Structure 1
Amino acid sequence: MIFVRDKGRMCNNILQFGHVYAWAREHNRSCMSMRFAYKYQYFHICHTRWHNFLTYAMAKYAAKMGMLPVAGFHNVGDNPEAQQLLENHHNIVVEGWEVRYYDLFLKYKQEIINLFAFNPNITNKVKSMMGKTDTTRLGLHIRRGDYKTWHGGRYWYSDTQYAEVVRRFANSHSGKPVEVYVCGNDPNLDSIRSVVDPNIRVIIPHGNPAEDLCMLSECDYIIGAPSTFSLVASMYHNRPLAWIMSADEELKFDTFDNLFKRII
């Protein structure tokens, strides 16, 4: 059994586990996520075999006491020692953000999506909230919080800057009315209403992390600061995603299959 652990945020955990799952699947190995065994109980994977607190606790303390080897993928690029440990031990803990098997991830992407299918109560709530309208739905992910200092605040944008990005998007998609579905980690998200063009409908449901992720995934287009949250949202239904690399740059939409190889 490969036990996968990390301390990152929810969508970092999804991507990290996805890479390890794909490698394990290719090599006929079993794999479980220690993170989703007890936390973020929003997904199908949380209800599958081995994903429970007892398995999590046993693996955690077995690794702590040296009964399970730990392969740490912490270096950008190659991690030969960790890779060798993974290949040589049937029961092992894998940790670290830099575990990457891009081609295998794409090979087993649909299986990974199925594992992280939302619980029905989440899907039903989001689809009921969004309804059916003849509009272009733009998902806007406003990432602030730690982005104030991360990379020197390079990807921290003001309400006015986000509103300008929305305006440019709406102008280039004038065939239908544009609705903007907003989520993010700023407790004052509603403040953006005052600066977005009043002709553009803005919806801010203030959902939990999984509801926000599901909502973004159901939009026609997704825009946000570079983040694994918007990246994972785009994965579910192959939605076009544009990361705001600079508030003044033209938006460049791309697919998950390309963007997940360029995670910052």
Structure 2
Amino acid sequence: MLICLSILGGGRGNDLFQFMHIDSFCRRNGVKFYSPTFHEKYCPQFPNLPPSSKTPYRVKKLLYNRYYRKLNPNCILGFTDETKIPEYREQIKKDYLVTFCYGWFFNNDVYSENDIRYYQNLFDPKVDKERLNQKYLQKEDNEKIITVHIRRGDYKEFLEGRYFFDDDMYIRKIKELLAAIPEGKYKFLICTNDENLDLERYKREFGNVIQSEEGPLEDQYLISQTNYLLGAPSTFSQWASVMGEVPYYHIYEPEETITEDKIIKEIRGYKYKQK
């Protein structure tokens, strides 16, 4: 059987997780997986990501309406309902020759260390690591870096602004995080889409604070190289957490106090190795 991911699921983080979940599940179950749309979009950013065959896409484009849909009425599978993920997993394993899928409500059930290492290598980004390390990741002896991902911009409208937090909220949560993790010397890296962030306020509160001036690809790399991550719920930053095994806390409930046991250090059964 072949699976072809023909429509991507949303923003950058959604795309990346969508691919990893489907690809890893197919690899485990002996199903060939293609996603020409994904590869065309992301191959320039990740050199280890090989080009994808366009044959399944051409089959769909040329033969679907006239022939293939009659032979295989289940050939289009939409991952549109989070409660039906177990059904989608079983559907993928069925011998329907080619199934075209879309939507991002699909996930792999469990990951091993080998899985994570495979995708860390596959998605090693094409960035100037030496420059980024020198500019943002330099630190003193025994110093660690906390990334604060301040998601504004599109989050003002997303879910009616549920996760659009002001500086007071982020500063309060940073203090809670500091109280929950081991005492030590910390440097802060802020990644944000807020062009008017009051960086000086964060410097007054926490001292050693630097703000990224880079694009999305570079920001995900930077986040992956730090020691802790704090931010609004976002697959963008969660992806960086998985790639760098960075423990993270996403602010789902602003009134919940951050404690050590609420900091996430794993993805679907695979526990991060501590840096």
* Range of TM-score over shorter length: 0.7 to 0.9
Match for residue 204 of structure 2 among 194, 197, 207: 197
Could you state the TM-score of these two structures normalised by the residue count of structure 1?
Answer: 0.81
Cα deviation digits, residues 196-216 of structure 1 (max 9, x gap): 435421111221111101111
Match for residue 239 of structure 1 among 241, 246, 250: 246
Q: CA deviation at 1:63?
A: 8.1
Match of 1:128 in 2: 134
Cα deviation digits, residues 19-49 of structure 1 (max 9, x gap): 1111210122222333432224322454x13
Aligned counterparts of 1:56 and 1:93: Cα–Cα separation in 2: 8
Matched length: 255
User: Where does 1:77-226 land on structure 2 (aligned, <5 Å)?
Assistant: 77-78=83-84, 80=87, 83-84=90-91, 87-103=94-110, 108-119=115-126, 121-129=127-135, 130-134=137-141, 135-170=143-178, 175-189=183-197, 191-226=198-233
Q: CA deviation at 1:161?
A: 1.6
Aligned counterparts of 1:209 and 1:57: Cα–Cα separation in 2: 28
Match of 1:30 in 2: 32
Could you say what the CA RMSD is over the residues aligned between the two structures, in angstroms?
Answer: 3.1
Are 2:79 and 2:102, in contact at CA under 8 Å, matched by a contact in 1? yes
Are 1:44 and 1:114, in contact at CA under 8 Å, matched by a contact in 2? no
Q: CA deviation at 1:132?
A: 4.2
Match of 1:254 in 2: 264
**Aligned amino acid, residue 3 of structure 1:** C
Q: CA deviation at 1:176?
A: 3.1
Answer yes or no: is 1:21 the counterpart of 2:29. Answer: no
Aligned counterparts of 2:138 and 2:88: Cα–Cα separation in 1: 51
Q: CA deviation at 1:180?
A: 0.9
Cα deviation digits, residues 56-85 of structure 1 (max 9, x gap): 974773587575832211112225478536
**Aligned amino acid, residue 170 of structure 2:** Y
Could you state the TM-score of these two structures normalised by the residue count of structure 2?
Answer: 0.78
Q: 1:50 to 1:172 in 2, by over 3 A?
A: closer
Does the residue aligned with 1:124 lie in a helix, a strand or coil? helix
Structure 1 stretch 12-21 or stretch 100-109: which is displaced more?
100-109
Aligned counterparts of 2:212 and 2:12: Cα–Cα separation in 1: 19
Q: 1:77 to 1:132 in 2, by over 3 A?
A: same
Aligned counterparts of 2:193 and 2:269: Cα–Cα separation in 1: 22
Are 2:144 and 2:227, in contact at CA under 8 Å, matched by a contact in 1? yes
Are 1:74 and 1:97, in contact at CA under 8 Å, matched by a contact in 2? yes
Does the residue aligned with 2:34 lie in a helix, a strand or coil? strand
Structure 1, unmatched stretches of 5+, are none
Match of 1:227 in 2: 234
Highest relative contact order (Cα 8 Å, sep 6+), 1 or 2? 2
